[in-house]
Structure 1
Amino acid sequence: MRVQVRPSELKGTLQVPGSKSHTIRCAVLSSLAKGESIIQNPLASGDGLSSLHAAQSFGISIQKSFDRWVVQGSGGNLSLPQTCIDTGNSGTTTCFFTSVASLVDGYTVITGDEQIRRRPIKILVDALNSLGAKAFLTRPNQAAPPVVIRGLLKGGDATIDGFNSQYVSSLLVSSALAEGSTTLTVRNALEKPYVRMTLEWMRRFGVVVENHQDCEHFVIEGGQTYRSPGVCSVPADWSAVAFPLVAACITNSSLRLTGLDYADMQGDKRVVSILKQMGAHISTQEQEGALHVEGGQRLKGGLVIDLGDIPDALPALVVAATQADGVTTFTNLAHVRIKETDRVQEMYEKLTLLGCNLQIDGDSLTVRGPSKIAGGEVSSSHDHRIAMALVCAGLAAQEQVVVTEAECAAVSFPNFFEKLMACGADLKLIEDELA
């Protein structure tokens, strides 16, 4: 799909979808738990559905409707998948179910789309092997899926690099069902809010983990049982909030975002405070679960922003920085380079093509603003956050911007373009012709 974006403003109210990160954790733990779980407000597209399909491959019965999934838990007694599991574009699903597969006596094969088959997972594979499972990658000299896993996970001691929190979270969840106890040491612990989110969901399902030194050392007792809490409500996705929020900040907009949970532990809530530091006029309405943003004011740079814990915020915040007075520097970005794409390089290349002033220095990205965003055609490189960020940039451009391969936005934000259009965005969606 190609999206033609013309300069325009946003007015009205926009509801944010359910969190991808929460949805996948709910799907995994509901599958492993005893009892029936009702997941309300799941992310019912893209990565959310990938987690559901992976769970079904292990014999889990799931009834799906638009706004809820009913999961019949296995009590830890999973079936061996009969075919290869395709996780699509979901890195989180790939990591969690790679560890889940270590709980099954037999061989499980997990793969994904072209991007997943480039994303490294060897660190997780090595950790599973050190804990008694048998896992290997199918391609010589490659660190990415396809991956083959055989249980059973026994427990023991493992040390893992924590620059990707998905490795850590997946091991925490599965180690509670290992034969023995596990001690997990994490070096270079980044993305800690996501690990804390995992620990909180494990607690809700009746399993408590010893967490020492702020997500750097864990003790997980084996042989435990997850028990369904009954209803699991998925809060709105703060990672998704960043895109309409930035779009409104850099245009002459008046936009209200709803469905938010300010008590939620998602790290990307910090985007609101960062934009406020940049001078954005944002009012939060915590009781109503909403916020209101008035655009039209010049943002200011001068900030050094460490994204070690919130890597997904980079694409949206970089777009905001192009419209800010002065220099904005984003640091601690090594892990941002191994998402669906190398998002540091991607944002540099795409925004440079549109006339913005960016510079990469190792694992930092510097933006000099304000820039006049020129018209032109740019590709999302099949990365949902790149696609949404570029469309937001197009709303503040001087001329029309065309974003290609834009359908991937549905991975984490279903109907993103339609929701923007309902608030006044001048977009034209053009389906690609079949070859």
Structure 2
Amino acid sequence: MKVSRPAAVRAVIDVPPDKSISHRALIFNAIADGAAVIEGILDSEDVRSTARCLAALGVPIEWPEGSSAARVTGQGLHGLFESDDVLDCGNSGTTMRLLLGLLAGHPLLSVLTGDASLRSRPMARVIQPLREMGAALMARKGDTLAPVVVKGGRLRGIRYASPVASAQVKSAILLAGLYAEGETAVTEPGRSRDHTERMLAAMGAPIEAEGAAVRIRPAERLAALSLRVPGDISSAAPWLVLAACHPDAEIVLRGVNVNPTRTGLLDILRAMGADLELLEERETGGEPVADIAVRSSSLRATTVSGELVPRAIDELPLVALAACFADGTTVVRDAAELRVKESDRVRTVVETLSRMGADIRELEDGFEVRGPVRLSGARLSGRGDHRIGMLAAIAGSLADGETTVSDDAVAVSYRSFWEHLAQAAPGGVAAR
């Protein structure tokens, strides 16, 4: 796709539904009693991977192609069947890690795999605590890489201090805790997104959260939960940065999830001086929702570290782009987790923006960006990583000259991304 900077940016955008909530609504309702309708579910490759894996485990899911609603007929806590084939999680780490936690509590033999990217991502962080609970798991490369074989059974509750703030790790352990004897407790170094805690509580699970600690006890049953999935703030992020950095821009994003465990980017942009505001604040399915208005802004440098990082982990590549338009030196630290995403996002962010003339330096656990600079169009690859693909496209929409983006992979999480970019930046997007 070819991208260039438009004269002005104006748009009202309904961003795709939240991917994290879409995954969890499918998985949790699969083991609930009764049927649930998930409206506004994200129709992306990652979420479809979750649906296909659950169907292979015997869960009836009605979700026609192109539909924004899925009906899940829950099989109860102990109603899954052993799949007669390998469970293909595609590119989705959420699918694999949460299903490992779920299957740890079932007396079934399962093999989970995925694409080349997923097979290179770390699984030991989930395998280790599930083994401590009593599940049998095996994987490649010293039990670190998929494919992963899991044979579930009787589990015991544990108290686990996670070395990383990861909602996927936490959620896997909590799902296993639904089936474990006694109480299971997870403590993180920083509070990660809490969609699992909110949704399980709404379904009747005995779960309690306090700060960065969560406790769960075995459940007798979960009640099916119908809900409407709010907009994904990770999908709102490209538009927030585009509007804040473009000299003549105003974008309104409707119905976005503003759960405080996910809004690190909003706090970062506010610290940088961005002109943004929340409108029509409300609640949907236990999650806070708002419309977000953002306009052209004069940005200043900031430092991102500590507890702010897990609240903005998927948006940090775009923070690097915003830093190119900010006065001073922006530093992102404590973000080594970026290196084990779909790509090494520290390195790919630095390489991508460097090709456009950014003054950016790679750090062991993040990056340092000096601004402001004028970016120049370049030939860029998304490296098969949807976040890097969107970064490249937005950077091209802010740069001098023309940018060509290949291997963008944006359909993994945002199928209408290019359509929305063409809407927001008329004349700035051309087909390959």
Q: Which residue of 2 aligns with 1:310?
A: 312
The TM-score with structure 2 as length reference comes to: 0.92
Q: Pick from 187, 202, 217 the counterpart of residue 221 of structure 1.
A: 217
**CA–CA separation in structure 1 for the residues paired with 2:342 and 2:154:** 29
Question: After the TM superposition, which residues 364-375 of structure 1 pair with which residues of structure 2 at under 5 Å, given as runs?
Answer: 364-375=366-377
The share of aligned pairs that are identical, in percent, is: 27
CA drift of 1:266 comes to: 5.3
**CA–CA separation in structure 1 for the residues paired with 2:304 and 2:133:** 40
CA drift of 1:209 comes to: 1.7
- Deviates further, 154-163 or 251-260: 154-163
Q: Which residue of 2 aligns with 1:143?
A: 144
**CA–CA separation in structure 2 for the residues paired with 1:307 and 1:221:** 29
SS in 1 for 2:75: coil
- Deviates further, 268-277 or 146-155: 268-277
Q: Which residue of 2 aligns with 1:247?
A: 242
Q: Which residue of 2 aligns with 1:275?
A: 269
CA drift of 1:412 comes to: 1.4
CA contact (8 A) 1:13 1:255 kept: yes
**CA–CA separation in structure 2 for the residues paired with 1:304 and 1:269:** 13
CA contact (8 A) 2:263 2:311 kept: no
Distance 1:172 1:45, change over 3 A: same
SS in 2 for 1:145: strand
SS in 1 for 2:383: coil
Distance 1:129 1:283, change over 3 A: closer
Query: Structure 1: which amino acid aligns with 2:20?
Result: S
Q: Which residue of 2 aligns with 1:433?
A: none
Distance 1:268 1:199, change over 3 A: closer
Q: Which residue of 2 aligns with 1:59?
A: 58
**CA–CA separation in structure 2 for the residues paired with 1:270 and 1:302:** 13
CA contact (8 A) 2:272 2:299 kept: yes
CA drift of 1:315 comes to: 1.1
CA drift of 1:378 comes to: 1.3
SS in 1 for 2:357: coil
**CA–CA separation in structure 2 for the residues paired with 1:309 and 1:257:** 19
Distance 1:304 1:219, change over 3 A: closer
CA contact (8 A) 1:340 1:383 kept: yes
Moved over 3 A (4+): 302-306
CA drift of 1:37 comes to: 0.9
Is 1:285 aligned with 2:279? yes
Residues 391-427 of structure 1 show CA distances to partners (whole Å, capped at 9, x for unaligned) of: 1111110111111101x11111121011111223411
SS in 1 for 2:176: helix
Question: After the TM superposition, which residues 230-379 of structure 1 pair with which residues of structure 2 at under 5 Å, given as runs?
Answer: 231-251=226-246, 252-262=248-258, 265=259, 267-287=261-281, 289-295=290-296, 297-305=297-305, 306-379=308-381
Query: Structure 2: which amino acid aligns with 1:59?
Result: G
Residues 8-37 of structure 1 show CA distances to partners (whole Å, capped at 9, x for unaligned) of: 132121111100010111111000101101
Distance 1:103 1:257, change over 3 A: same
CA contact (8 A) 2:58 2:81 kept: yes
**CA–CA separation in structure 2 for the residues paired with 1:182 and 1:149:** 22
CA drift of 1:359 comes to: 1.3
**CA–CA separation in structure 1 for the residues paired with 2:219 and 2:252:** 47
CA drift of 1:261 comes to: 4.1
CA contact (8 A) 2:157 2:177 kept: no
**CA–CA separation in structure 2 for the residues paired with 1:272 and 1:219:** 29
Is 1:396 aligned with 2:398? yes
**Where does structure 1 lack aligned partners over 5 or more consecutive residues?**
431-435
**CA–CA separation in structure 2 for the residues paired with 1:34 and 1:405:** 42
Q: Which residue of 1 aligns with 2:36?
A: 37
CA contact (8 A) 1:308 1:332 kept: no
Q: Which residue of 2 aligns with 1:211?
A: 209
CA drift of 1:210 comes to: 3.6
CA contact (8 A) 1:127 1:158 kept: no
Distance 1:153 1:28, change over 3 A: farther
**CA–CA separation in structure 2 for the residues paired with 1:173 and 1:404:** 38
Distance 1:161 1:303, change over 3 A: closer
- Deviates further, 96-105 or 72-81: 96-105
SS in 1 for 2:425: coil
Q: Which residue of 2 aligns with 1:184?
A: 185
Distance 1:219 1:266, change over 3 A: closer
CA contact (8 A) 1:394 1:400 kept: yes
Query: Structure 2: which amino acid aligns with 1:242?
Result: A
**CA–CA separation in structure 2 for the residues paired with 1:71 and 1:51:** 12
Distance 1:320 1:402, change over 3 A: same
Query: Structure 2: which amino acid aligns with 1:301?
Result: A
CA drift of 1:390 comes to: 1.2
Distance 1:268 1:261, change over 3 A: closer
Distance 1:49 1:206, change over 3 A: same
**CA–CA separation in structure 1 for the residues paired with 2:339 and 2:216:** 30
Residues 244-289 of structure 1 show CA distances to partners (whole Å, capped at 9, x for unaligned) of: 1111111121221112244xx2533232232122122223213483
Q: Pick from 72, 81, 92 the counterpart of residue 90 of structure 1.
A: 92
CA contact (8 A) 2:381 2:405 kept: yes
**Where does structure 2 lack aligned partners over 5 or more consecutive residues?**
283-289
The TM-score with structure 1 as length reference comes to: 0.91
Aligned residues: 416
